[in-house]
Amino acid sequence: MTTRMKLNELNIDASARANVEAWLAGDYDDATKQAVLDMMERPDELNESFYRHLEFGTGGLRGIMGVGTNRMNRYTVGMATQGLANYVRRCFSGEKELRAVVAHDSRNHSREFAEITARVFAANGFTVYLFEALRPTPELSFAVRYFHCHTGVMLTASHNPKEYNGYKAYWSDGCQLTAPHDTNVIDEVMKIKQLSDVRMEGGAGHIVSIGPEVDEAFMQQIERNVLHPESIKACHDLKIVYTPLHGTGITLIPQMLSRLGFTNVHVVKEQSVPDGNFPTTPSPNPEEQAAMKMSVDLARQIDADIVFASDPDADRVGVAVKKPDGGWMLLNGNQTLSVIVYYLLKSWNEKNMITGSEYIIKTIVTSELPADIARRYGVKVYDVLTGFKWIGSKIRELEGLETFIGGGEESYGYMIGDFVRDKDAVGACSMIAEIAAWAASQGKTFFDVLVELYKEFGFYKEGLLSVVRKGKSGAEEIQLMMKNYRENPPEEINGSKVVCIKDYKLQQSRDINSGRTTSLDLPQSNVLQFFTADGNKITVRPSGTEPKIKYYFSVKAELCCRDCFEQTNAALDGKIEQIKKSMGLV
């Protein structure tokens, strides 16, 4: 039986069959073709691997590694790079020299994919700066502007499981792609239909290896963020536990802490070696308790002062702090961001650095506490859509007009200063360590700073619920849910009147009491927010990458004293559960 006859007998999509035939007939290597033939014994896997082309979304590629058009592999990476190169060339047609920078994390095949990306750019006439070894995502963002590049690519799947890899594309400002470049690049990538469209050979002489020079320039910028060097000097022996979770953070974060003057940093040895299999944790995501377990266990053993962990590409940070009873508490992203913003603004104010042109940025699903802090210090607050590319885009818009101090989002991403245009775990870990030293110099802990913050501004607590609805029917159900929220919005939630509704699809905010509507100066997005009379905020947002609808809850109460922390915290958790029940979600 011929291969085609056998293929015709398989129960797979017509699109999958066409893509398989193209790969078997195309200029693909023998090992890849044999893997495709072997997969014909597993029709379900064959169908899943070939039924579509892996989508190049607004942030790039992300998918399971393997053979097929719907997988991350050397060929899908090469085709994506050709599309990106074509678009960059079109946008900068008048430039004498086009430049790109490429970096990668510790994931399996990341180095291979990075080298292929560099080869394609070089074959298209670009000068390519390729990092000599793995480096954090924020350093890639920094390097784009450092080398005056027109684009950059980071090979990473961030904190996804080990089976995944990804491809993040950056524009000349060091920010991930935003309009119109995001959709325009997608269009160019979609035009690359076959391997013969990809240039891979002939540009080896255009690839420049980079490393220590960029590391040094990057770390010098982070050093400039220090606000209280005297606190670091006084408390240099603060006991810090850090884990890179087998990722790129090991290349810079311990070195950066030492450079700032910290002398008592304990790296989790078992997780210090870069390894794309992430053998010591079920998930390399510092948002999850399991990922923090080994570092917190070490902290208990040595009686540490603070713990932090970075994800594989070192753009997110998880933090654990010691409580008065000796126990350890994992902070959520809103809590860490709020303390960072509080410290930055308090310090800038004390040093008379606030002139009236300063601002912070947060996303619309982030706690309102950073905004309250900023207003107290006379600093502007800009809300942007979910995703760090929108923070970078706002900085670009205000460049030369106003001064960005810092900002971030609830999903454990933070940025201090504007020399990086993406989440930065290297800079954030350095700032978190400085805050801990500043607190220690006053006989306090990081936890004490958080409690004082809550006492001054109110105890904000956040929760997240994801409702999964799979398949075509699930997607339709999610859209129907959003339609119902718009046409029949709740008048009250958990007994508190809804006083404001923000609809980012209609780009308007409506005051319920007056009926007055105002425009929301943000790009259109399918997001709804309900604000209640007692200070709660509920955000409803379909996921752009997964079959789920997400609910973000933010509640608030007064914190009378430090001893009331646990009781108030439990009460707010209970309030979030009551809100879920009142909305019929549990």
Q: What would the pLDDT profile of 240-286 be if each residue is shown by its tens digit?
A: 999 999 999 999 999 999 999 999 999 999 999 999 999 999 889 99
Burial profile 465-500: b = 16 or more Cβ within 10 angstroms, e = fewer: bebebeeeeeeebbeeebeebeeeeeeebbeeebbe
Q: Per DSSP, which regions of 302-385 are E strands?
A: 306-310, 317-322, 328-330, 358-363, 380-384
User: Token pair for residue 388?
Assistant: 């760090």
Q: Given pLDDT bands bounded at 50, 70 and 90, which one contains residue 172?
A: very high
Mean pLDDT over all residues of the chain? 94
Q: State residue 204's pLDDT score.
A: 84
Q: What is the pLDDT of residue 532?
A: 96
Do residues 276 and 247 make contact, with C-beta atoms less than 8 angstroms apart? no
C-alpha to C-alpha distance for 213 and 5, rounded to whole angstroms = 57
pLDDT for residue 18 is more than 70? yes
Q: Percent of the chain at pLDDT above 90? A: 85
* pLDDT in the model for residue 577: 96
Peptide bond into 180 cis (omega under 30): yes
Residue 158 annotated among the catalytic residues of the structure: yes
E-strand spans in 35-123?
Answer: 60-64, 99-104
Query: What are the backbone dihedrals phi and psi of residue 365, each rounded to the nearest 5 degrees, phi first?
Result: -95, 0
Residue with tokens 């390097």: 143
d(CA 195, CA 150): 24
Cα dist from 532 to 339, 367, 398, 513, 547, whole Å: 25, 14, 32, 12, 28
pLDDT at 544: 65
Q: Choosing from 141, 158, 172, 393, which is the catalytic residue? A: 158
Which token pair is 295?
A: 């570092």
Which domains does the chain carry?
53-216 (3.40.120.10), 236-330 (3.40.120.10), 332-423 (3.40.120.10), 459-582 (3.30.310.50)
Alpha carbons 373 and 366: distance in angstroms, whole number: 14
pLDDT tens-digit profile of 73-92? 999 999 999 999 999 999 99
- Return the closest-CA partner of residue 569 out of 294, 323, 363, 292: 323
- For the cut 90, the answer to whether the pLDDT of residue 586 exceeds it is no
What is the structure's pLDDT at 255? 98
Does residue 409 register a pLDDT over 90?
yes
- Report the pLDDT value the prediction gives residue 8, as an integer from 0 to 100: 75
Q: What is the pLDDT of residues 280-319, one digit of tens each?
A: 998 899 999 999 999 999 999 999 999 999 999 999 999 9
What tens digit of pLDDT does each residue of 519-529 get?
999 999 999 99
Q: Using one digit for the tens of pLDDT, what is the confidence trace for 179-233?
A: 899 889 989 998 998 889 999 998 888 999 999 999 999 999 999 999 999 999 9
Q: Which of 1-15, 37-51, 354-368 has the lowest mean pLDDT?
A: 1-15
Answer whether 336's CB lies under 8 Å from 435's CB: no
d(CA 191, CA 121): 17
Q: How many CB atoms lie within 10 A of CB 158?
A: 23
Whole-angstrom Cα distance, residue 437 to residue 233? 9
